[in-house]
Amino acid sequence: MALTASTYGKARVRVMRLTREGDRHTPRELTLSVMMRGAFDAAWTQADNRACVATDSVKNIVNVVAAQNLSLGTEAFAQAVAALFLDTYPQIEEMTIEARETRWRRHAIAGAPHDHTFTLDGNGFGIVRLVARRDGSVLQSGVEGFTFMKTTQSGWSDFVDDRYRTLPDATDRIAATAMDALWTWSTMPADCEAANARVLDTLLATFGGSYSFGVQDSMYRMGEAALASVPEIAQIRFAMPNKHYIPIDLTPFGLENGAAVFLPTDEPHGQIEATISREK
């Protein structure tokens, strides 16, 4: 039998970096998956662990890089972790690092941002994915579970009408989603944090600023706008599940529902995915 693929490492490595600039603090909390590919097949096929880096050491390396790089943004931090592995262990051919950011929002007290008080930003997570080899790397940034909606200017109509269809046409409905979006950098921007914020602002402005003929329609135009706004992005990948709001029938109670009372549900939900690139 052949071992056709293998990888190993450490998942759910959690680390908080705290930058202290006098009384002003900045927390950076990450949950990482750090996976290695390379000359490790003998551990599977011959019970030979001599080339293996212990997964406990993987966790320790993340902590050491954190201590040495308190202020790095998530993208640069992932690159620093990958570089240490590739520089230290010749048996490693490829590192795949995924970092999920727990975002802390600086709280305002008496109208002023406070130096060391924060609240949890509950809308999704920032994510970074890096695949690094000695001959190059692919770096992606994005958001996971970022939830938004608009309460008008959205429809879904003129779809296949056959004996299986029960859904009526809609020209004015609530459109909502918990979006996963991942964009691939062709070159690194001067400021990843600012560029990521610009992408997200562009996506929301496009979604909210025009009529949507469906999630597919909005998704494509959102991708086009993000690529136009941030030239360092090569492509953007979306997964946008529908969060449905179904009008409730109030006629048994002698009431009219003027598109005001809904049943929120996301099971089952429509799942719409696409990648928009600069080149076909």
50 and 91 Cβ atoms separated by less than 8 Å:
no
Q: State yes or no: is 150 an active-site residue.
A: no
Q: State yes or no: is 10 an active-site residue.
A: yes
Distance CA 52, CA 89 (A): 10
Tokens 């600069």 correspond to 278
Pairing of strands 112-120, 8-21: unpaired
Burial class (CB in 10 A: 0-12, 13-18, 19+), 68: exposed
Which candidate in 26, 31, 55, 102 is catalytic? 55
What secondary structure letter does DSSP report for 278?
S
Omega of the bond leading into 268 within 30 degrees of 0 (cis)? yes
Distance CA 75, CA 127 (A): 9
| Contacts of residue 259, Cβ cutoff 8 Å, sequence gap at least 6 | 172, 247
Which candidate in 59, 96, 202, 244 is catalytic? 244
- The tokens for 260 are 């005001």
Enumerate the β-bridge partners of residue 182: 142, 237
Q: State yes or no: is 280 an active-site residue.
A: no
Which of the residues are catalytic? 10, 55, 244
